[in-house]
């Protein structure tokens, strides 16, 4: 079945780096745009980044621009989010999501928690 | 950036009630609007896409309407499994943005 399985979260000190992964299965990964969305504890959803199906273009939320990098390896059907210069306000549950037709997020990964704390 | 404003932020309702949630965009987004349901500890689930299209497998009691700047999600007869948070999301232009969410609680 169509599935996104995430890994790579954890606790990290401010200013440090972390990389999240999102492994896709059950569909042709290389034909879909992919996104990262995050949710701070007790808060709503915040869109983070998008990467085109072939990696040719990327776009970021202002809150992470210059610090986060979205990438993909279509040969491994895997999406990544490299997070540098992490701040306390980056603490959140991070979700990867496939952009299905009609600009919809479906499915979503299970989420991975990133905690930025000294 | 396009701002999405949902109302109400929370609603208390009983099983069988009709519940309506509205979402207003700060500028026109055509029909590029989706609705998601999120239960505690779970990833969001797509309910409605392109403003009024029901995602496969979603019960018929859910419906969406609207275009331009004003949109509505309606649950025609609330069921116990519908108590959750609901988010609208615009996909007209980057950055895609979400509403702040509406929590549907048991009355």
Closest CB to A44 among B32, B91, B98:
B98
Question: Are residues A46 and A39 in contact, defined by beta-carbon separation less than 8 angstroms?
Answer: yes
Per-residue pLDDT reduced to its tens digit, A16-55: 999 999 999 999 999 999 999 999 999 999 999 999 999 9
Structure-token pair, residue A2: 């169509």
In chain A, % of residues over pLDDT 70: 100
Number of Cβ within 10 Å of residue B15's Cβ equals: 12
Res. B38 pLDDT band, cuts 50 70 90: very high
Q: Which tokens in the block code for residue B11?
A: 């609603």
- pLDDT of A43: 96
> pLDDT value at position B106?
86
- CA-to-CA distance for B2 and B18, rounded, in angstroms? 29
Q: How confident is the model at residue A102 (pLDDT cuts 50, 70, 90)?
A: confident
Tokens read off for A33: 């745009």
To the nearest whole Å, the CA of B32 is away from the closest chain A CA by 7
**What pLDDT score does A118 carry?**
93
* A/B interface, count of CB pairs below 8 Å: 60
Residues of chain B by 3-state class (helix, strand, coil), percent to 5: 5, 50, 50
Q: Which residue among B43, B49, B95 places its CB closest to the CB of A47?
A: B95
Please list, in sequence order, all residues whose beta carbon lies within 8 angstroms of the beta carbon of residue A56, skipping any fewer than 6 positions away: none
B18-33 pLDDT tens trace:
999 999 999 999 999 9
């Amino acid at each position: 079945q169509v599935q996104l399985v995430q890994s790579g979260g954890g606790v990290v000190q401010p200013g440090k780096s972390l990389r999240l992964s999102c492994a896709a299965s059950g569909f042709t990964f290389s034909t879909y745009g992919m996104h990262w969305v995050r949710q701070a504890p007790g808060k709503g959803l915040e869109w983070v980044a998008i990467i085109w199906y072939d990696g040719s273009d990327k776009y970021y939320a202002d809150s992470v621009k210059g610090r986060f990098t979205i990438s993909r390896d279509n040969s491994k059907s895997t999406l990544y989010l490299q997070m540098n210069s992490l701040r306390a306000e980056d603490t959140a549950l991070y979700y990867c999501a496939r952009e299905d037709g009609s600009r919809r997020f479906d499915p979503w990964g299970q989420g991975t928690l990133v905690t930025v704390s000294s | 950036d396009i701002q999405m404003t949902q109302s109400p932020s929370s609603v208390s309702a009983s099983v069988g009630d009709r519940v309506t949630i509205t979402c207003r965009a700060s500028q026109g987004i055509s029909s590029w609007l989706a609705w998601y349901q999120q239960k505690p500890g779970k990833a969001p689930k797509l309910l409605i896409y392109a403003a009024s299209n029901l995602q496969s497998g979603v019960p018929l009691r859910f419906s969406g309407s609207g275009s331009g700047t004003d949109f509505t999600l309606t649950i025609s007869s609330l069921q116990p499994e519908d108590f959750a948070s609901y988010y609208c999301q615009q996909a007209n232009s980057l950055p895609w943005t979400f509403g702040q969410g509406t929590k549907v609680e048991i009355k």
